[in-house]
C-alpha cells in the first residue's frame, strides 16, 4: 500500500459532457461538480485528488501509470471504455493500486453491451447507478479500504 495521501480520479470519454449529454440518464451535474465532490469527500480523510478526464484512451493509461508512484488509489468512471478496453483494465491491474469503479447510471439496466465491465475484476469497490453522488460513495468506500 502506498503511503501517499492522494487519489487519482479518472473520468473517461464523453464525461466532459456531463450536464449536457443525456441529462435524463446522467443528470445535470457537470464534470467540475464531480471533481469538486470527490475533492471534498477525499479531504474528509486528509486526502487530495488529482483529476484527469480524456476522450483518448492513451492519456488515461498514462495517468494511471503515473499514479503508481504518488497515489494511494484510483476512483474511475471509464465511460464507454468500461465495456471495450482490455488495455485500460491491464493498466489498472499493472499499477497494483486499489481501484473504485463508479458509474452514474445503472449500466446493468441499460443496453446489453453495457452489461460487461473489463474493469470489474480489478476493482475492489463497485458503485453503480447512484448518480453523481456515487462518486462520493465510491471515494469513501475506497478510503475505507485503504484504512483497513
Check residues 81 and 23 and name the one with the higher pLDDT. Answer: 81
Q: Which residues belong to the annotated binding site? A: 77, 83, 90, 104-105, 114
Given the residues 47, 103, 118, 135, select the one marked as catalytic. 103
User: Which residues, other chains included, contact 137 with Cβ-Cβ below 8 Å and sequence gap of 6+?
Assistant: 102, 127, 130
* φ/ψ of residue 65, rounded to 5: -60, -45
The whole-number pLDDT of residue 1 equals: 40
User: What does the pLDDT average to over 106-126?
Assistant: 82
Query: Looking at the predicted structure, is the pLDDT value of residue 23 above 90?
Result: no
Q: Is the Cα torsion angle 36, 85, 93, 112 positive or negative in sign?
A: positive
DSSP 8-class letter at 76: E
pLDDT digits (tens, 9 = 90+) for 29-79: 999 999 999 999 999 999 999 999 999 999 999 999 999 999 999 999 999
pLDDT, position 56: 97
- pLDDT score of 116: 79
- Cα–Cα distance for residue pair 36/53, rounded to 1 Å: 14
Asked if 65 is an active-site residue, the reply is no
Question: Does the active-site annotation cover 26?
Answer: yes
What's the angle, vertex CA 29, arms to CA 129 and CA 110, rounded to 5?
Answer: 30
Give the model's confidence band at 109: pLDDT under 50 very low, under 70 low, under 90 confident, else very high: low
Class of domain 6-147: alpha beta
Catalytically annotated residue among 26, 47, 118, 135: 26
Instruction: Specify the DSSP class assigned to residue 47.
Output: -
Q: Tell me whether residue 90 is exposed, middle or buried, using C-beta atoms within 10 angstroms of its C-beta: 0 to 12, 13 to 18, 19 or more.
A: middle
Amino acid at each position: 500500500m502506498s503511503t501517499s495521501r492522494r487519489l487519482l480520479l479518472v473520468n473517461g470519454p464523453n464525461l466532459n459532457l456531463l450536464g449536457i449529454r443525456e441529462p435524463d440518464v446522467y443528470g445535470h451535474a457537470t464534470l467540475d461538480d464531480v471533481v469538486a465532490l470527490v475533492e471534498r469527500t477525499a479531504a474528509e480523510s486528509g486526502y487530495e485528488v488529482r483529476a484527469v478526464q480524456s476522450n483518448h484512451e492513451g492519456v488515461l493509461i498514462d495517468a494511471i501509470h503515473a499514479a503508481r508512484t504518488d497515489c494511494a488509489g484510483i476512483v474511475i468512471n471509464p465511460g464507454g471504455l468500461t465495456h471495450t478496453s482490455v488495455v485500460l483494465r491491464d493498466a489498472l491491474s499493472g499499477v497494483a493500486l486499489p481501484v473504485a469503479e463508479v458509474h452514474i447510471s445503472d449500466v446493468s439496466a441499460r443496453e446489453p453491451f453495457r452489461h460487461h465491465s473489463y474493469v470489474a475484476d480489478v476493482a475492489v469497490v463497485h458503485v453503480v447507478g447512484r448518480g453523481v453522488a456515487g462518486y462520493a460513495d465510491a471515494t469513501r468506500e475506497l478510503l475505507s479500504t485503504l484504512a483497513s
